Amino acid sequence: MGKHSRPGPSNQPSRAVPRADTDNPLAPYDKRRRPPMDIHRRHRPAHGGASHLRPDEPRVLEEWNGFTYQPAGTASSLAAAQRWVNELQVGDTPTAR
C-alpha cells in the first residue's frame, strides 16, 4: 500500500461518515442500521447471473428495511429496474410499508 492509500477495494467509495451526533442518544443505533454501501434499493436478475447480461429478462427489486434487503417487486427489464432504483434520490430515506 502506498503512503496515501486507504484500506479496502479501490473501486468502492469510502465508508467514512461524519461523527455521531452527541445530542442524539440513538445515533449509534441509527448508524448500524445503514444499508451496505448506502444503497437503499437494488435489483438482481430473476434467474441469477451478472446484472448487465440479458437486459430484457425480468429483475427482482429489493429494498433495505433497516436490517436486510427484502423483495419489493419485479421489473420487466434492466432499464425498468434501474428507473425504480433511481427513484429514491440522495438524502431521501425509504418509507415504511
Which residues, in sequence order, are CB contacts of 51 under 8 Å at separation 6+? 43, 44, 45, 78
pLDDT per residue as tens digits for the range 52-96: 788 899 999 999 988 889 999 999 999 999 999 998 755 555 554
Taking the model in full, what pTM does it have? 0.61
Please return the burial class of 9, using the count of CB atoms within 10 Å of its CB with bins 0-12, 13-18 and 19+: exposed
The DSSP result for 70-87, as a single string, is EEEEEESSHHHHHHHHHT
